[in-house]
Structure 1
Amino acid sequence: MATAPSSPPLIPTSKLLTQDFSGDHSPAAAHGCPHLKQMKKSSEILTNYQVLARYCLHYKSRHALGILPPRDRKRAKLEKQDSSSSTKSLPTPSCLTCDTTLGRIHACLQCVYVGCWKGEHVQNHCATTGHVISMEINRCTLYCSTCKDFVYDRDFENIYNGELLRNAEIVSMVQEPGLKRAHFIRWNAPNKEAALIRAGTRLKPCQGLRGLRNMGSTCFMNVILQCFIHNPLLRGYFLSDQHSSKRCEIKTECMGCEMDQLFTQFYSGVKSPYGPCSFLHTMWMSSSDLAGYAQQDAHEFFISALNQIHAKSPGAKLHHCGCIIHKTFAGVLQSDVTCLNCANVTSANDPILDISLDLRPTKRSKSGVNKIRGTHDNDGPNSLADCLDRYTHPEKLGTNEYNCSKCGKTGQEATKQLSMKVLPPVLSFQLKRFEHSMGASKIETKIKFPAQLDMTQYTTAARKLKKSKLAKMNGASENGSPSTPSSSSSSSSSSTNSSVEIIPTCVYNLFAVINHQGKMDTGHYTAFARHRGEWFSLDDHKVTLASQKEVLNSNAYMLFYVKQNLDYDF
């Protein structure tokens, strides 16, 4: 069994200052709080912070590490009955005064007290004991009761980053023991390079939020551009000058240059709404179907924009392309066709840039209980998980749709099942709300979607693992004691419906949502996007703060998720 990574050593108190590019090398530059600076002379507070940060990170990864508190698992009853059970568990952080687990739990760094902020128990503790510094459990941030504010310190940040890396390595070894990864190497700039960075760097206020003018039914374009702007991978690519409009050899109609100009405008410091006239004109010249001032479909514009950016990227290829579009959105969908006569499986792989999901309106039950896959809000019959279940469920083919190459029978019955062989870094969904079969109509069915999405059970590897486990169970029942047909069938169905263990690289976080209000031809597009940890409502030139509850309750048309743990690009 692989050993856990060694704990990063604490920084000696004589060398607490970390590298600084700001140009200010005074000791005060590393400390955001004079009270914390005084307390750092003793390494005790650093040790306490490291222990608490490690506990918080392990608690956040408790599902992946299998160290859940007993009340988080249904098998707690079985563990109580079995005295020999050695299942590890982590205690849930709760206030020592009122025993609540809500209300922003703080842990004192000078003693063993844990209290809630909402009930003012941690404030009362600091006032009565004279203790100054506490740590907010959820985010591992420092709070000074004397300054009455959260404070920043680069040395504590360095400890937190070390624990974050260690926790990620442990989770990777537990969940994916055979996966080879590149070793993380910390980079420190030499004195000469640090001087160049200081000389060539100009600090600007945090930007990236800006409204877009509606230039005549162009809301479909505005929402897509906002989703591009808040896409972490596209943002990192264009803000690092990977495609510069000043150095580009393509002089006209280059969508990469238009994206570069778009990011330049959003991060220029100007707060007034921006009119992307040049982007719209280039799209008109590149795609004649989108030309004109008629209302267009946002998903069609999204696909067309991706194709145009890919086509003008340097070294663009039809297969195994390394452009930014394929590095960001490209995945591989596997289709398995199984012959029902000889069980022969024929597989085919198709590249995809997004997933389009069908919607099936369902009637509300009279009792109001419409959840079929659990107790969470996003697990009802009209949920994203339900749409993905239908998308990857085996589908029976017609007698004239498949000819088996193994048994040689024509018109043989078979089943077809889809699964994700390669998951993209950014996963985009289109919910098919517009129907054109019997006239144009729009499906208004409410689809619930989560802020964090686990795609493990929809991958090809998970399907193979589930089949192998089912085969072993069937083999054990045949070789062991005889079982009744009812018991064998029930065990088979339960094993099929049971979900596999979560793989960290298959977990996604929501960062953008596109909504459509109104009728099909005369409606209006709006969007939500996550920026610096906060949600914002984007309605053309209007940019307002929004809550996550408002986002998750919206009637979504397109959803954008980014991987929580990105893979290394070898």
Structure 2
Amino acid sequence: MSEHGCIHLSNFKAAKGTQPYKVIYAYFVACTSTEARKRKAFSCYCYICRCLGPRLHSCLHCIFFGCFVSGHIQEHAKSKKHFLAVELTYGMVMCFQCGDYIYDRELTDIANERDAKASKALGLPISYRSWEPSANEIELLRLHPRRRRVIENSTIGLRGLINLGNTCFMNCIVQALTHTPLLRDFFLADKHQCQFRDQPGSCLVCEVSRLFQEFYSGNKAPLILHRLLHMIWTHAHHLAGYEQQDAHEFFIATLNVLHRHCKGSSAHTHSSPEHCNCIIDQIFTGGLQSDVVCQACNGVSTTIDPFWDISLDLATDIPTSSSESNDSGQKSSESSQKSNEQEPTSLIDCLTRFTRPEHLGSSAKIKCSNCQSYQESTKQLTMKKLPVVASFHLKRFKHSSRFHKISTYVAFPEHLDMTPFMSHYRNMNNGHCGNTFNLLPDNRYSLFAVINHLGTLDGGHYTAFIRQQQNHWFKCDDHLITKANIQEVLDSEGYLLFYHKQFLEYE
């Protein structure tokens, strides 16, 4: 990333001005309206391989889109002598003669001005570009030379965590949170406004902000999280004590306390009185739609509930007893049928089962608001709104006649498309929306953290795999950080899975 300018870009601006960049940035980078996103979806694909990416660039000299990783934009630059191109996710200008992305103050001001107008109009408090350095970050690199050594193989942001005695459950969650891109951007930009100024040491968000600064300071020594542990004990009493805790329970409790301690902006209004625009809800909150269909009149009762994560069953066996069957034996038959189902072998299997219609049975009749009588019904869960970070909890700890762990291997992908589990996608397949698949928003995610539980319930241990930059993986085992590869990650057992949305949209 060069911050010294480029003679080739300067010559281009002298001849053609900044209008070509303004047009590309306005129509294909900062798409803030539904129509603009549709236009981008139809237009932005590589003219050679017809793919949507990866790292799609637009030629600054002519109308041409080409992907960077496959080398098609490079081929175009070489054959046409068009050496300047705009990266369409972050708006950075690449000069193929210099072989680098170029910092240009004038173009940076254009991008920042448009982003500021869009954010102000939509009431958005933060920028949504996080996977690569933004124009503001490039300016920071220029103004602070000591911070320029964040290169491709940099390990800044990697720090081990001392185990304080059965605190591996906390260490792995902290590793996942500190490598959540938008959360990192928020805290490193000092966005938090403390609402406990008169109570020093009471705000968990301030403590997490301090931890982010420690993680990305460049210091390699392992950190001790005694202050964080004490604050969690104070605000989540059920986690207090020195015994081993569940990492998933700690994750939800931490989000809950952070959510309570955040001070969200009131500028962005919402129809729901429960809506919060704090950084936790902006990143982790999704909407789960529940449709209950009356079997008598087909009336549909719909509710939408917020969620921070999705817990997915792994076991299919359902114990039955004589008390579970009715006169017709229907409930016993349903339970027997469920117990004979094949256990899920992949995350997709789990999500498919989670979002399929479920017959509630005659023992769970509900009063239909349409026909005003108690009727049997079916219930289906789908995703109404997806969060920026989708976290999945594989329910490996099972309560039945005894408490035991399910160690079944469940395959999970590096890249996940959530479109088949969306509410509007199911409506389309039911014939309600016509053939508009290409107009759907992009619901693709990339894996960036995996938490594993090793061993048994009595002597278990938590570790984490985290993604550093684009393609570098590391295993975090308390104070020990070791290099890993994606295959090791995908071959792991998997307990908590964290996915980050690849393309972020303005609301």
- TM-score normalised by L of structure 1: 0.61
* Structure 1 residue 521 corresponds to structure 2 residue 498: no
1:217-247 Cα distance to aligned partner (Å, 9 max, x none): 2111011111111112222222222226698
Q: Structure 1 280/389 Cα, relative in aligned 2: closer, same or farther at 3 Å?
A: same
Tell me if 1:65 matches 2:42: yes
The aligned residue for residue 296 of structure 2 is: 341
The reply on whether 1:557 has 2:495 as its aligned counterpart is yes
Aligned to 1:248: 197
1:370 counterpart residue number: none
Q: Within 5 A, what are the aligned runs for 1:325-336? A: 325-336=280-291
State the SS of the aligned residue for 1:357.
strand
Measure the CA separation in 2 of the matches of 1:468 and 1:334: 19
Q: Which one-letter code corresponds to 1:551 in the other structure?
A: V
**Map 1:154-165 → 2, pairs under 5 A:** 154=103
Change (3 A) 1:544 1:104: farther
Residues 521/64 of structure 1: CA separation in 2 closer, same or farther (3 Å cut): farther
- Partner of 2:430, secondary structure, is helix
CA contact (8 A) 1:334 1:349 kept: yes
For residues 502 and 361 of structure 1, do their structure 2 counterparts lie closer, same or farther at Cα, with a shift above 3 Å needed? farther
**Deviation per residue, 1:83-118 (Å, 9 max, x gap):** xxxxxxxx9989xxxxxx9986673466429xxxxx
Task: Encode CA deviations 1:272-297: one digit per residue, 9 max, x unaligned.
Answer: 11111110111122222222221111
* Structure 2 residue runs without a partner (length 5+): 30-37, 52-63, 128-135, 151-155, 266-271, 318-342
Structure 1 residues 552 and 135 mapped into 2: Cα distance closer, same or farther (>3 Å)?
Answer: farther
**What is the distance in 2 between the residues matched to 1:404 and 1:505?**
37
Q: Is the 8 A contact 1:104 1:136 kept in 2?
A: no
Question: For 1:308, what is the secondary structure of its paired residue?
Answer: helix
Deviation track 1:22-57 (CA, whole Å, cap 9, x = no partner) reads 9xxxxx9634x88x689979979x99999x99xx99
Specify whether residues 299 and 381 from structure 1 end up closer, same or farther in structure 2 by C-alpha distance, changes over 3 A only.
closer
Say if 1:104 and 1:137, in contact at 8 Å, map to a contact too.
no
- Please provide the CA RMSD for this pair: 4.9
Q: Matches of 2:451 and 2:467 in 1, distance apart?
A: 12
Task: Say whether the 8 Å CA contact 1:361–1:382 is kept in structure 2.
Answer: no
Aligned-partner Cα distance in 2 for 1:201–1:540? 35
1:310 matched to 2:240: no
Q: Distance in 2 between matches of 1:257 and 1:443?
A: 37
Q: In the alignment, residue 554 of structure 1 is paired with which amino acid? A: S
* Structure 1 CA distance for aligned equivalents of residues 225 and 293 of structure 2: 49
Decide which of 260, 275, 294 is 1:320's aligned counterpart. 275
Q: Secondary structure at the match of 1:508?
A: strand
Q: Aligned letter for 1:515?
A: N
Instruction: Give the letter for the 2:169 counterpart.
Output: F
Q: Is the 8 A contact 1:528 1:535 kept in 2?
A: no
Looking at structure 2, the residues matched to 456 and 465 of structure 1 have their Cα atoms a distance apart, in angstroms, of 11
Structure 2 residue 411 is matched with structure 1 residue 462: no
Asked whether 1:107 is paired with 2:71, we answer no
Find 1:535's aligned residue among 453, 472, 478: 472
Matched, 1:353 2:353: no
Change beyond 3 A, Cα 1:539–1:323 = same
> What amino acid does structure 1 have at the position aligned with 2:254?
A
Distance of aligned partners of 1:302 and 1:110 in 2 relative to their CA distance in 1, 3 Å threshold: closer
**Deviation for aligned residue 1:360:** 4.3
Q: Is the 8 A contact 1:107 1:136 kept in 2?
A: no
Distance 1:138 1:106, change over 3 A: farther
Alpha-carbon distance change, 110 to 391 in structure 1, aligned in 2, over 3 angstroms: closer
How has the CA–CA distance of structure 1 residues 422 and 111 changed in structure 2, closer, same or farther, with 3 Å as cutoff?
Answer: closer
SS in 2 for 1:107: helix
Give the partner amino acid of 1:221. Answer: M
Which residue in the other structure is 2:444 paired with?
507
In the alignment, structure 1 segments of 5+ residues that lack a partner are: 1-21, 23-27, 74-90, 95-100, 114-130, 170-180, 188-193, 363-379, 473-494
CA contact 2:196–2:202 (8 Å) conserved in 1 = no
Structure having the higher Rg: 1
Question: Match of 1:243, as an amino acid?
Answer: H
Matches within 5 A, 1:385-400: 385-400=348-363
CA gap 1:323/1:66 in 2 versus in 1, 3 angstroms: closer
1:409 corresponds, among 349, 369, 373, to 373
In structure 1, what is the Cα distance between the partners aligned to 2:480 and 2:209? 23
Match of 1:446 in 2: 409
Partner of 1:236: 185
Shift in Å, 1:521: 3.0
Structure 2 residue aligned with 1:277: 226
CA distance in 2, matches of 1:513, 1:407: 47
1:126-165 paired onto structure 2 within 5 Å: 150-154=99-103
Per-residue deviation, 1:133: 7.5
Alpha-carbon distance between aligned partners in 2 of 1:320 and 1:415, rounded to the nearest angstrom: 28
- Alpha-carbon separation, structure 1, partners of 2:412 and 2:288: 22
Structure 1's 559 and 249: CA in aligned 2 closer, same or farther, altered over 3 A?
farther
**Secondary structure of 1:520's aligned partner:** coil
TM-fit CA distance, 1:200:
12
Could you report, residue by residue, the CA deviation over 1:528-568 in whole angstroms, capped at 9, with x for unpaired residues?
22222133322222223332333223221111122223233
Could you tell me whether the CA contact under 8 Å between 1:516 and 1:526 is conserved in 2? yes
Counterpart residue type for residue 514 of structure 1 = I
Q: Indicate conservation of the 8 Å contact 2:287/2:383, yes or no.
A: yes
* Contact 1:536–1:543 under 8 Å retained in 2: no
SS of 2:364 mapped into structure 1: coil
Cα distance in 1 between the residues matched to 2:316 and 2:195: 50
The aligned amino acid for 2:42 is L
> Contact 1:245–1:261 at 8 Å: present in 2 too?
no
Per-residue CA deviation, residues 502-541 of structure 1 (Å, 9 max, x unaligned), is 7334222222211222112322211122222133322222
> Aligned partners of 2:215 and 2:315: how far apart in 1?
39
Q: Residues 481-502 of structure 1: CA distance to partner in whole angstroms, max 9, x if unpaired?
A: xxxxxxxxxxxxxx9xxx9547
Distance 1:465 1:41 in 2: 47
Identify the residue that residue 202 of structure 1 maps to in structure 2.
Answer: 144
Q: Which amino acid aligns with 1:345?
A: V
CA displacement, residues 296-317 of structure 1 (integer Å, 9 cap, x when unaligned)? 1100000111111122233799
CA contact (8 A) 2:3 2:102 kept: no
Question: Which residue of the partner structure matches residue 482 of structure 1?
Answer: none
Call closer, same or farther: CA 1:552–1:501 in 2, change over 3 Å: farther
User: 8 Å contact 1:105–1:136 — kept in the other structure?
Assistant: no
SS in 2 for 1:270: coil
Corresponding residue of 1:433: 396
Q: Partners of 1:133 and 1:70 in 2: how far apart?
A: 17
**Structure-2-length-normalised TM-score:** 0.68
Match of 2:132 in 1: none
The count of corresponding residues between Structure 1 and Structure 2 is 424
- Tell me if 1:300 matches 2:238: no
